[in-house]
């Protein structure tokens, strides 16, 4: 601490995104001049395991050259809807699927495997597990990212997730404090407001976070949520009542508090982002994320300079700055290149076997799954989906496929399904139900509906279904169907 300059200390506070092309000169400038020592990756950076490992190798090498190693390289690899690396790694269900198995050992195993594989790819921070309780069916942003609706069960799953990551040597983060599950607005787009009291939060939302703290979770991420009953002025990320009094003092949390992305629209009504960044540090944040992945209207340089100016003008005291830097350096001290696991563990056959075991149990947990395997003649099957990736289901088989699009004429859909005996509908976006509900299906057609996103979608379906099966936010890769659907026809 005594050897660090002000610029080096400020560089520890920021975690920024990596451009998808020609990033070396920009990132090296940030490493060398601004000493920014934490980076976050998104799907644009990580199309597969090989590209990911190459990218992180460059970042680690550049950091060593710039004299700021070790650096944090972070990712949101939750699985399910939020999966940044989908090719070349072991796939796992979304958290909601794990919650339905009621088997915390599966959560431990999956997070241990995920931690090992991410580490082998050069990543040392995973922003998971989601500790939110899915208490609002209208929640547009959490849903199946949560382990479920019961706070105590969510807490147990979160604890086992943290233990799994820790066993693999992976730094993990509980998010989104104090709970993002009971709002009906996406904070990426606007400001969610919850009118819960502090007592109400203690009875539900805070339970998994208290459990996380008991497991010494190294990072907690804040939520951009307004709680006017508790702090009428600031949302959580900007609130000292939440971050310093509640989380740091009352709950005795000693790890790193990191903001959710500063590019999210929930913050815009409170002022200029550079001023808000200063307020976040004053409120109790140790690190700030600027993803450069959403709006691209938050300047890393402007925020950086605002923090420098705030310390030089004693708006942020040197002692307050040092508190955050010490926490960050203490956690970085636990990072060792020797702890990185071998590339051989990535998608190891034993990992894939465990994944399929978990996925099959989740699949057959659905009451309507018990009729599988189903003998289906591929030429008599129609697959309808709104997800582009599903357009290539079983490419070796000649199956009729229909990719739903906005404003697609119902007559064209009606015509395409006329020759099908068996219809599989894989639906992620509930808005397409209006199209599907107006179609006249034939009495001889067996219609199997697979919900990919919203576990509450069933109540809005007017189609005469043969079965309704939750896949919990695309958490079950389609290899789960191998040997099930076409068992009698291949």
Q: Is the pLDDT of residue 477 over 70?
A: no
Q: Specify whether 109 is located in the same domain as 146.
A: yes
Report yes or no on 486 lying in a domain.
no
Full residue range of the structural domain in which residue 46 is found: 6-345
- The alpha-helical segments, DSSP class H, found in 223-348 are 240, 273-283, 300-312, 318-332
Residue of 466, 440, 457 whose CA lies nearest to 140: 457
Q: Is the pLDDT of residue 57 over 80?
A: yes
Q: Rounded mean pLDDT of the chain?
A: 89
Q: Which of 321-335, 340-354, 396-410, 436-450 has the highest mean pLDDT?
A: 321-335
Give the distance, in angstroms, between the CA of residue 372 and the centroid of all CA atoms in the same chain.
Answer: 31
Q: Specify whether 108 is located in the same domain as 213.
A: yes
For residue 451, what are the CA distances in angstroms to 30, 147, 345, 367? 43, 17, 32, 14
228-247: burial string, b at 16+ Cβ within 10 Å, e else: eebbeebbbbbbebbbbbbb
Q: Is the pLDDT of residue 268 over 50?
A: yes
Q: Specify whether 375 is located in the same domain as 330.
A: no
Among the candidates 288, 313, 345, a domain finishes at 345
What's the CATH code of the domain at 317? 3.20.20.300
Q: Is 8 left (phi over 0), alpha (psi -120 to 50) or beta?
A: alpha
Residue 142 is predicted with a pLDDT of 83
Mean pLDDT of 452-478: 73
Report yes or no on 352 lying in a domain.
no
Residue 338 is predicted with a pLDDT of 44
Residue 191 is predicted with a pLDDT of 86
Q: Specify whether 340 is located in the same domain as 371.
A: no
Q: Is the pLDDT of residue 236 over 90?
A: yes
Residue 181 is predicted with a pLDDT of 76
Separation CA 425–CA 423 (nearest Å): 6
Task: Express each pLDDT in 146-199 by its tens digit.
Answer: 999 999 999 999 999 999 999 999 999 999 999 987 776 766 777 889 999 999
Q: Specify whether 438 is located in the same domain as 378.
A: yes
Residue 487 is predicted with a pLDDT of 45
Residue of 209, 219, 79 whose CA lies nearest to 151: 209
Q: pLDDT over 70 for what percent of the chain?
A: 89
Sign of CA dihedral 42, 45, 51, 56: negative
Find the farthest-apart pair of alpha carbons in the chain and give their distance in angstroms, rounded.
Answer: 77
Residues with catalytic annotation?
Answer: 260
Report yes or no on 354 lying in a domain.
no
Predicted model pTM: 0.87
Please state the domain count of the chain.
2
Residue 371 is predicted with a pLDDT of 64
Task: Express each pLDDT in 356-407 by its tens digit.
Answer: 888 878 777 776 676 666 677 778 888 898 876 666 666 767 788 888 988 8
Q: Specify whether 325 is located in the same domain as 387.
A: no
What does DSSP say about strands 381-385 and 422-427: parallel, antiparallel, or unpaired?
parallel
Residue of 350, 330, 346, 358 whose CA lies nearest to 123: 346
Residue 348 is predicted with a pLDDT of 95
Report yes or no on 360 lying in a domain.
no
Q: Specify whether 86 is located in the same domain as 198.
A: yes
Decide: residue 35, CB within 10 A, 0-12 exposed, 13-18 middle, 19+ buried: buried
Is 23 or 252 the better-scoring residue by pLDDT? 252
Q: Specify whether 466 is located in the same domain as 396.
A: yes
Is 370 or 72 the better-scoring residue by pLDDT? 72
Report yes or no on 358 lying in a domain.
no
Residue 94 is predicted with a pLDDT of 87
Angle (CA) 422 426 432, round 5°: 110
Q: Specify whether 16 is located in the same domain as 112.
A: yes
Residue 434 is predicted with a pLDDT of 87
Separation CA 217–CA 211 (nearest Å): 9
Mean pLDDT of 5-21: 94
Task: Express each pLDDT in 193-219 by its tens digit.
Answer: 999 999 999 999 999 999 999 999 999
Q: Specify whether 340 is located in the same domain as 377.
A: no
Place of tokens 């808000």: 276
Q: pLDDT over 90 for what percent of the chain?
A: 59
Strand-pairing partners, residue 173, are 219
Among the candidates 314, 345, 376, a domain finishes at 345
Q: Specify whether 51 is located in the same domain as 186.
A: yes
SS3 letters across 164-190: HHHHCCCEEEEEEECCCCCCCCCCCCC
Decide: residue 95, CB within 10 A, 0-12 exposed, 13-18 middle, 19+ buried: buried
Q: Specify whether 91 is located in the same domain as 127.
A: yes
Mean pLDDT of 81-105: 89
Residue 46 is predicted with a pLDDT of 96
Contact criterion met (CB below 8 Å) for 161 and 245: no
Separation CA 131–CA 201 (nearest Å): 13
Report yes or no on 202 lying in a domain.
yes
Contact criterion met (CB below 8 Å) for 382 and 400: yes
What's the CATH code of the domain at 474? 3.40.50
Q: Is the pLDDT of residue 489 over 50?
A: no
Separation CA 195–CA 338 (nearest Å): 48
């Amino acid at each position: 601490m005594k050897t660090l300059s002000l610029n080096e200390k400020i560089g520890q506070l920021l975690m920024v995104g990596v451009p998808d092309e020609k990033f070396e000169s920009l990132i090296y400038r940030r490493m060398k001049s601004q000493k920014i020592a934490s980076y976050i990756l998104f799907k644009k950076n990580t199309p597969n395991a090989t590209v990911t490992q190459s990218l992180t190798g460059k970042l680690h090498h550049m950091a060593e050259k710039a004299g700021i190693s070790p650096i944090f390289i972070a990712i949101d690899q939750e699985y399910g809807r939020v999966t940044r690396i989908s090719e070349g790694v072991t796939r796992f269900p979304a958290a909601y699927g794990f919650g339905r198995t009621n088997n915390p050992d599966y959560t431990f195993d999956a997070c241990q495997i995920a931690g090992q594989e991410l580490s082998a790819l050069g990543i040392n921070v995973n922003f998971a597990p989601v500790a939110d309780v899915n208490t609002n069916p209208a929640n547009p942003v959490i849903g199946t990212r949560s382990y479920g609706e019961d706070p105590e069960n969510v807490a147990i799953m979160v604890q086992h997730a943290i233990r799994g990551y820790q066993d693999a040597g992976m730094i993990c983060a509980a998010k989104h404090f104090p709970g993002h599950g009971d709002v009906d607005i996406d904070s990426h787009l606007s400001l969610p407001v919850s009118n819960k009291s502090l007592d109400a939060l203690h009875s539900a939302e805070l339970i998994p976070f208290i459990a996380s703290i008991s497991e010494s979770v190294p990072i907690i991420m804040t939520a951009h949520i307004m709680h006017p009953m508790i702090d009428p002025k600031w949302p959580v990320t900007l609130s000292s009542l939440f971050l310093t009094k509640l989380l740091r003092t009352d709950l005795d949390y000693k790890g790193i508090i990191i903001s959710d992305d500063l590019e999210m629209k929930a913050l815009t009504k409170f002022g200029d982002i550079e001023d808000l960044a200063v307020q976040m540090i004053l409120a109790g944040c140790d690190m700030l994320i600027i993803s450069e992945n959403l709006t691209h209207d938050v300047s890393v340089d402007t925020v950086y300079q605002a923090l420098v100016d705030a310390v030089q003008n004693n708006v942020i005291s040197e002692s307050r700055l040092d508190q955050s830097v010490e926490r960050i350096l203490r956690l970085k001290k636990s990072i060792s290149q020797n702890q990185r696991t071998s590339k051989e563990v990535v998608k190891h056959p034993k990992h894939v076997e465990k994944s399929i075991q978990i996925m099959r149990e989740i699949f057959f947990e659905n009451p309507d799954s018990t009729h599988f395997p189903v003998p289906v003649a591929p030429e008599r099957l129609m697959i309808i989906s709104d997800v582009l990736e599903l357009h290539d289901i079983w490419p070796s088989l000649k199956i009729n496929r229909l990719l739903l699009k906005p404003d697609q004429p119902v007559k064209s859909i009606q015509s395409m399904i006329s020759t099908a005996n068996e219809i599989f509908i894989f639906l992620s976006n509930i808005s397409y139900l209006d199209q599907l509900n107006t179609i006249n299906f034939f009495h001889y057609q067996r219609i199997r509906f697979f919900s990919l996103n919203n576990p509450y979608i069933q109540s809005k379906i007017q189609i005469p279904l043969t079965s309704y099966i939750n896949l919990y936010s695309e958490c079950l890769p389609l290899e789960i169907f191998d040997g099930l659907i076409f068992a009698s026809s291949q």
